[in-house]
Structure 1
Amino acid sequence: MTSDTPTPPTSERHTPVLKDRCINLLAPAFERAVAEGRTPVVIDATLGMGGHSEAMLQRFDTLHLVGIDRDAEALGLAGARLAPFEARTDLVHAVYNEIPDVLADLGLDTVDGVLMDLGVSSLQLDERERGFAYSYDAPLDMRMDTSRGPTAADVVNTYAVEDLVRIIRTWGEEKFAGRIANRIVAARNTAPLHTTGELVEIIRNVVPAAAARTGGHPAKRTFQALRIEVNEELDVLEAAVPAAVDALALHGRAVVMSYHSLEDKIVKAVFAAGSRSSAPAGFPVELEEHKPTLKRLTKGTEIPTDAEITENPRAASARLRAVEKIRVRSAR
């Protein structure tokens, strides 16, 4: 986008994934809070450009939103979009595994809903200088919070070859990880890598053409791996999902959308553990403390419809899971 081209409104730049389904899953928790005479509170733990939050605030006129994002630019855009609801919002620059600290700072004990829309945002993909996309040349950055932390350039230029292999194979699920890592190291020994275009060219030269024809863009999995490493995404998620569940009030609901199997595996494990009895096998009586704390609201994962994917192609890989808290663990 050139500097003399007007920037479209945030609402036109961002189509929320599975918006209606997310809100409908959260709605009973908000309605219960209102029936009990309370102000319903929701955490949008990955605020992005605020599309889901705007829709929730429009539909529930007493709802209070806590919006969290590690990306300061996204917070600014979401703040402008949500300005009509300013009295009912708290927008916080934080990472979503910091939910307990955010709630403590706001004086909140529990919330009625938590929404997580994981992965890279539309804003981050569209801002070329952020370096998330392999489709055009840009600095090798990939930080969701550009104010801190190592960049993708730091990773490719300083990590040992065995660490690059591990990251690309594990986080990217890339079977040519060894070839790619070795070629990266060979290239950087001549000159450091600075741009996405340089990295894409290296990957193209080692991934067989046949694999690219059947598996999509040859750099897709390596870019995913680097992004996860730079932002510590899976480590953050492993702490964030239990934190979200713990933050829920009784009958509160959590909705999480993931975009690749590594994310979904973490979400599935936490939700599954909470929705089954912890009584030892063969135990004759299920004690209260052994009863499930969660009820799964989705059977497996839900996916977007063909119509939703046509409207928003980035929704194609979305997988949604949701739970309701049905028991609060007693304090030990």
Structure 2
Amino acid sequence: MTEGNFVDYVKIYVSSGKGGKGSTHLHREKFIEKGGPDGGDGGRGGHVYLVGNKSLWTLFHLKFAKHVKAGHGGDGGGDRSSGADGDDKYIEVPLGTVVRDKDTNEILFEITEHEEKRIVALGGKGGLGNWHFRSSTNQTPRYSQPGLPSEEKDMVLELKVLADVGLVGFPNAGKSTLLSVLTSAKPKIADYPFTTLKPNLGIVAYRDFQSFVIADIPGIIEGAAEGKGLGHYFLRHIERNSILLFLIPADADDIKKEYEILIDELRRYNPEILDKERMIVISKCDMLDEELKSEMKIQLDKEFKDIPYMMISSVAQQGLTELKDSLWKMLNQ
């Protein structure tokens, strides 16, 4: 998927169908002048549904479909015939889609299961025909119910990427390069900050035809929790990952300080994120000789006693098998 095709935020207007009106028909046929009421009911208006689809990864297909309207219910007819129900509309969305009310910003619900179906706009109920209002004292009612009106809503659909592992790090930490060597994904890679502007997903093939999903999330900068830089645009994608993989380059001035800044940004955005499993990966280790690696390991053992860490090189393909083994073990504990 090209970066421009990844859409994770759309505003959409939905309208259900209005209910059909009941009929006021009176039965007439040869030799029966006053056959009484036989007006049928109106059909219900069409509903608008949101349906989860595990094959979708983006909201791109809704980018230009800003108005979705269901069909109106048909009016009732004579001989107690009911009007046809309005056509329902189904909007397919990727798993991990959050639905908000545009005016209040209130979260209405989330779609997390394949083929999960939720009504976002309820079709109007059809009106009753005059057949229902006959009585011993009113044998020819000449009135019926109108159908109920349609329901209209302005909504915001917001996608939070569903992945097993989320790559977290500063811009240019090597996240896209790691994703490209672990998976068949082809993210944009260049030697400048903010190469990645949209999340990239890749499937890591593991032993015995097993696999897990890894997401390269745009780089964090200080102040991201307040919306600085790409801010909330990427932080919401981290919420749905099972494991947070902190990627810090070996040539960083202070590895522990970089890690603490990343943790602080996540804490300020949503403290619950820090309940997830974590792993620290030191990238670009092909730049270090054995002596520097040994010194760095001594330092890392002191600074990260309770958090597993690994040293890898995506370019030199060093430590990648061990990394996959560790991630698989963490995912399946």
TM-score strictly above 0.5: no
Q: TM-score, normalised by structure 2?
A: 0.27
Q: TM-score, normalised by structure 1?
A: 0.27
| Structure with max Cα Rg | 2
